[in-house]
Amino acid sequence: MNPLLEKFDTAPFSQIKNEHFKPAFLGAMEDARTEIDAITSDSGAPTFENTIEALEFSGQQLDRISSVFFNLNSAETNEEIQKIAQEVSPLLAEFGNDITLNEELFKRIKSVYEQKDDLDLSVEQQTLLDKRYKSFSRNGANLSEEKKKRLREIDAELSKLKLKFGENILAETNKYELPLTDEKDLDGLPDGAKEAAAQLAKLKDKEGWLITLDYPSYIPFMKYAKNRELRKKLSLAFGSKAFKGDELDNQENVLKIANLRHERANLLGYETHAHFVLEERMAETPEKVHSFLSELLEKAKPAAEREFKQLEDFAKESDSINRLEKWDGSYYSEKLKQKLFSLDDEQLKPYFKLENVISGVFKVAEKLFGLQFEEVFDVEKYHEEVKTFRVYASGFTITKRASSLYFMLISTREKESAVALG
Rounded CA separation 205/194 (Å): 16
User: Which residues, 6+ apart, have CB-to-CB distance to 422 below 8 Å?
Assistant: 64, 67, 399, 400, 404, 405, 406, 407
Residue ranges matching CATH 1.20.1050.40 in the chain: 3-142
Report the distance separating Cα 356 and Cα 360, nearest Å: 6
Query: Which ranges in the chain are annotated with CATH 3.40.390.10?
Result: 353-421
Q: What is the pLDDT of residue 128?
A: 97
77 phi, psi to nearest 5 deg: -80, 165
Helix, strand, coil percent content, the chain, rounded in steps of 5: 65, 5, 30
User: Amino acid letter at 223?
Assistant: K
| Superfamily for domain range 353-421 | Collagenase (Catalytic Domain) (3.40.390.10)
- Each residue's pLDDT expressed in tens, for the chain with a length of 422 residues: 899 999 888 899 999 999 999 999 999 999 999 999 999 999 999 999 999 999 999 999 999 999 999 999 998 999 999 999 999 999 999 999 999 999 999 999 999 999 999 999 999 999 999 999 999 999 999 999 999 999 999 999 999 999 999 999 999 999 999 999 999 999 999 999 999 999 999 999 999 999 999 999 999 999 999 999 999 999 999 999 999 999 999 999 999 999 999 999 999 999 999 999 999 999 999 999 999 999 999 999 999 999 999 999 999 999 999 999 999 999 999 999 999 988 777 777 788 888 898 999 999 999 998 999 999 999 999 999 899 999 988 655 554 333 333 445 555 443 333 333 33
Helix and strand numbers, DSSP H then E, in the chain: 16, 7
Full-model pTM: 0.85
Q: Fold for domain 3-142? A: Glutathione S-transferase Yfyf (Class Pi); Chain A, domain 2 (1.20.1050)
User: Alpha helices of 176-284 — where are they, by DSSP H?
Assistant: 191-203, 215-224, 228-239, 251-267, 273-278
